[in-house]
Chains A and B, each alone.
Chain A
Amino acid sequence: MTTTAPRPAPAGATTTSEKLLEVEAIQKYFPGRRSGIAGQKGNPIRAVDGVSFSLAAGETLGLVGESGCGKSTTGRAVSKLIEPTGGTIRFEGRDLTKLSPRQMRPMRRQMQMIFQDPYSSLNPRHTIGTIVGSPFRIQGEKPKAGVKRTVQDLMARVGLNPEHYNRYPHEFSGGQRQRIGIARALALQPKLIVCDEPVSALDVSVQAQVVNLLEDLQQEFGLAYVFIAHDLSVVRHISDRVAVMYLGKIMEITDRDALYERPMHPYTHALLSAVPIPDPAIESRRERILLTGDLPSPSDPPSGCVFHTRCPKFKNELSDSERDHCRTVEPVLEDKRPGQSVYCHFPQVRSDLIDGAPAAAGAAGESPIRTTRPRVA
């Protein structure tokens, strides 16, 4: 496989230990739809409502959560494909929300996005060569080896046949189109790629190839990824840290292993418990935590904890006064254990969700396993 395509970013640009990306309390509200009867403008849709995280160069943050919880919107806002309605996004120390479109232009090459929908993001009237080469045109740049050569190298890199340079998107399968999008994102050797479901259209073998490719590129060029996916197995494999979103907010954010082995938020518990594991023996001893009720409307989020209307813990385990607390006071996303931030008044470590092993006392060597029952006013 040729490895000529992306070159390391020019030295000098190396940032110190500083974060590559710092997202603080970003919001994206969409204008509300007219409500059914009266026809007046409804509440705004709070697609993303106060999301904060940071990312170092070379790091991968997994972003997971129910459909419609705001993952793509977060990704699009972070890469400034849409204007956030609030909050700040610092990229290498510069606040992107303050930049004009003109000032933004040179920043764009540093941050690319791989789109969730490999179909609509590829112009059907352009050849693959044109599509993958488009970032060069947009940035007015001529790669040394020539556009065609560079594009063909990129194509080979993502496992596409470079001879297909002149083909059109409809001549490719779903998975092949996804790789076209990946090749395009890599063209300008960005520092950050927001990957929105980059592998969910791929069969497991190609998926493994693409995941390995993303990891190699990261190693080689210090790329950082925001990796949006609903496949929790892939997320576990590729992420350094993982953020779990629900209704526009982060419910829990922590190191990969902590999230899978010692998740604390009731929503994280439910998510992990729902992943089918292809092993009947393990499957039979696992507990499945079902969420009941509908995902609330993001234009009318519940009071207090936004998760309380569907929280199994709220429903089954809490006392009346504790429930009142969930209903009226919104939790803050804060460290409940070192490095593990949780948006919940009653977080609790569970380590039995994946392999169903009973959480035997003392099994996990460190701090007490069933934690915090905070006093409630």
Chain B
Amino acid sequence: MTDTQAPPVRTPESNDEALLRVEDLRVHFPTGDGLVKSVDGLSFSLRRGEILGIVGESGSGKSVTSQAILGLHKGSKARVSGSIWFEGTDLVAASEHEMRAFRGDQMAMIFQDPLSAMHPFFKIGDQIAEAYLVHNKVSKRDARQRTIEMLQKVGIPNAAGRYDDYPHQLSGGMRQRAMIAMALICRPKLLIADEPTTALDVTVQAQILELIKDLRDELDSAVILITHDLGVVAETCDQVVVMYGGQAVEQGSVAELFAQPEMPYTWGLLASMPRMDRVRSTRLMPIPGSPPSLINVPNGCVFNPRCRFSDRVPGRKCFTEHPELSPTTGSASPLAVHEVRCHIPAEERQQILLTEIRPTL
């Protein structure tokens, strides 16, 4: 375990304290079939005003990570270890009681599933106002007013009229926006948005991302944005973590990572994207094989069963030795942080990118 201590040095003028520092986080679930290692040694940090994107395989531990940050595994059978520093408090060690004070006020989450975050039998407006009332001493009337404003901000037409709707009366995208309103109404310092725009059309998506950026600009909040949409990451985020099998396999600044992706899994992601500007009559190109078992995690590199390039590494190292997350040398800027978990030597990775990957993207 060494990658956890990567010094957070970026640009000389902005080496202020991280708002959130996740260190060697592990979340394991005991199940009848064995121990599911959903998150296994994840580290990253986030400063105020920064938007961090998390992308990666479905089932790679993105949501479980964000649940751990919010302390939602407390009281469940999950085993959480490592640390999550938030403004001087280690959330892994914090009690459920302490967490409750953080949630909603200091940190808020936009959940991947809008319905589970909303109670089916209460009006959406009341639910949002309630979230506001818990942390703010205002009258019911003010809370209602504020809720309506928030519903307007997230682009719900006729917000005052929608206040009294029940969740099932909204379309999928409106439910998602109602939940976004609920997360934003308390103006959290840390916002975790788990697939906030998947149910939204492109025009509303643009609006929501704008709203998230506004929150960042106005309050200097930090944002974790979990998404499958690489276009959204490119457009919105400053940093990005690519996850696979419960680990970060590549991370760095967005500009770096898009200009110079170096992990074979990241290449696979980029190659499987359909693009609207291309007529592709051929089939899409998913990464062959299936996601790793999180119970019997492959030895060596987690990606090895699906990697086309493991034969480029001498001595079957991909199958025997777990690669560390280490800085790449391909960066344009010496200050850029860009780390890759892969045994292929850096120069060779860059060569592969140039000659074999680029032409197919």
Residue among A175, A230, A234 making CB contact with B274, cutoff 8 Å: A234
Give bound CA distance, A237 to B172, whole Å.
23
Given contacts A203-B55, A205-B272, A211-B284, contact A36 B203 (CB under 8 A): no
A208 to B199, CA, bound (A): 18
Distance in Å from the Cβ of A43 to the closest Cβ of chain B?
11
Q: Quick one: given A117-B172, A297-B158, are A67 and B200 in contact (CB under 8 Å)? A: yes
Considering the chains assembled together, what is the distance between the CA atoms of A274 and B32 in angstroms? 47
Scoring A residues 193 to 220 as 1 if CB is less than 8 Å from chain B, else 0, what string do you get?
0000100111111111101100100000
**Do A201 and B57 contact each other (CB < 8 Å), given the known contacts A67-B204, A232-B202?**
no
**Would you list the 4 A-B pairs with minimal beta carbon distance, nearest first?**
A67-B173, A175-B58, A208-B284, A208-B286
Assess the A67–B112 pair: CB atoms within 8 A: no
Are B269 and A171 interface neighbours, CB within 8 A? no
Q: Which partner residue on chain A sits nearest B280 by CB separation?
A: A237
* B162-184 with Cβ < 8 A to chain A: 164-165, 169-174, 177
26 contacts between A and B (CB under 8 A): A33-B164, A118-B113, A173-B58, A174-B63, A175-B59, A176-B59, A197-B172, A197-B199, A200-B199, A203-B228, A203-B269, A204-B228, A206-B57, A207-B284, A207-B286, A215-B283, A230-B199, A230-B202, A274-B202, A274-B206, A277-B231, A278-B275, A294-B155, A295-B157, A297-B158, A355-B277
Residues of B within 8 A of A278 (CB): 230-231, 234, 273, 275
Q: Chain A residues with Cβ under 8 A from B93's Cβ?
A: none
* Known interface pairs A117-B114, A176-B59; 16 further A-B residue pairs with C-beta atoms within 8 A, sorted by A's residue number: A30-B169, A67-B173, A117-B113, A171-B29, A207-B286, A208-B286, A212-B283, A212-B284, A233-B276, A234-B274, A236-B276, A236-B279, A276-B231, A279-B277, A282-B277, A354-B277
Task: Pick the residue among A67, A118, A167, A274 that contacts B174 (CB under 8 A).
Answer: A67
Residues of A165-204 whose CB lies within 8 A of B:
166-167, 171-176, 197, 200-204
Supposing A207-B228, A234-B274, A277-B275 touch, asked if A174 and B203 sit within 8 A by C-beta, the answer is no
* B269 in contact with A205 (CB, 8 Å): yes
Q: How many residues of B contact A (CB 8 A)?
A: 63
Whether A67 and B195, one on each chain, are in contact in the complex, defined by CB atoms closer than 8 angstroms, is: no
**Does the CB pair B174–A68 fall under 8 Å?**
yes
Q: From residue 115 to 131 of chain B, which have CB atoms closer than 8 A to chain A?
A: 115-116
Is there an interface contact between A207 and B165, defined as CB atoms closer than 8 Å?
no
The answer to whether A274 and B287 have CB atoms under 8 Å apart is no
Chain B positions 205-239 with a Cβ under 8 Å from a chain A Cβ: 205-206, 228, 230-232, 234-235
Q: Which of B58, B199, B234 has a CB less than 8 Å from the CB of A203?
A: B58
B residues in contact with A237, CB < 8 Å: 274, 280, 284
Query: From A156, which residue of chain B is reached at the shortest CB distance?
Result: B290
Contact B277 A65 (CB under 8 A): no
- Chain B residue with minimal CB distance to A73? B171
User: 0/1 per residue, A349-361, Cβ < 8 Å to B?
Assistant: 0000011000000
Q: Which residues of B contact A (CB under 8 A)?
A: 29, 31-33, 36, 55-59, 63, 112-116, 155, 157-158, 160-161, 164-165, 169-174, 177, 195, 198-206, 228, 230-232, 234-235, 268-269, 272-277, 279-280, 283-287, 290, 293
Contact with B161, one of A33, A64, A159, A277 (Cβ below 8 angstroms): A33
Is B276 a contact of A260 with CB atoms below 8 Å?
Answer: yes
Contact of B285 among A208, A271, A279, A354 (CB under 8 A): A208
Q: Is B57 touching A205 in the complex (CB atoms < 8 A)? A: yes
B-facing residues in A269-289 (Cβ within 8 Å) = 270-272, 274-279, 282
CA distance A35 to B232 in the complex (A): 38
Q: Which residue of A lies closest to B293 (CB)?
A: A161
Q: Which residue of A lies closest to B165 (CB)?
A: A33
Does A291 count as interface, using CB distance less than 8 angstroms?
yes
For the complex, what is the distance from the CA of A35 to the CA of B155, rounded to whole Å?
A: 20
Contacts of B170 in A (CB 8 A): 68
User: A72 near B: Cβ within 8 Å?
Assistant: yes
Contact A203 B235 (CB under 8 A): no
A67 touches B276 (CB 8 A): no
Find B272's partner among A117, A204, A355 (CB 8 Å cutoff): A204
Report if A67-B172 is in contact (Cβ < 8 Å); known contacts: A201-B112, A204-B230. yes
Contact B113 A119 (CB under 8 A): yes
Q: Considering only CB atoms, which chain A residue lies closest to B164 in the complex?
A: A33
Min CB–CB distance B29 → chain A (angstroms): 7
Q: Could you tell me if A117 and B161 are in contact, using CB atoms closer than 8 angstroms?
A: no
Known contacts A174-B113, A212-B286, A233-B275; is-contact A291 B203 (Cβ 8 Å): yes
**How does the 8 Å CB contact mask read for A118-161 relative to B, with 1 for contact and 0 for none?**
11100000000000000000000000000000000000000101
Interchain CB contact under 8 A, A72 and B283: no
Q: Of all chain B residues, which has the CB nearest A120? A: B115
Q: Let me know if B165 and A203 touch, CB within 8 A.
A: no
Closest-by-CB residue of B relative to A271 is B202
A275 to B274, CA, bound (A): 12
Residues of B within 8 A of A118 (CB): 113
CA distance A296 to B157 in the complex (A): 7
Taking CB atoms, residues of chain A closer than 8 Å to B228 are 201-204, 207
User: Given the complex, which residues of B lie within 8 Å of A215, measured CB to CB?
Assistant: 283
Q: Is the CB of A294 within 8 A of B58?
A: no
> Residue among B58, B116, B274 with the most chain A CB within 10 A?
B58
CB distance from B33 to the nearest CB of A (A): 7
Interface centre among B55, B56, B276, by most chain A C-beta atoms within 10 angstroms, is B276
When distances are taken between beta carbons in the complex, the residues of chain B under 8 Å from A167 are 31
Find the B residue at minimum CB distance from A235: B276
Partner of A277, one of B232, B277, B279, B280: B277
**Residues of B with C-beta under 8 A to A34:** 164
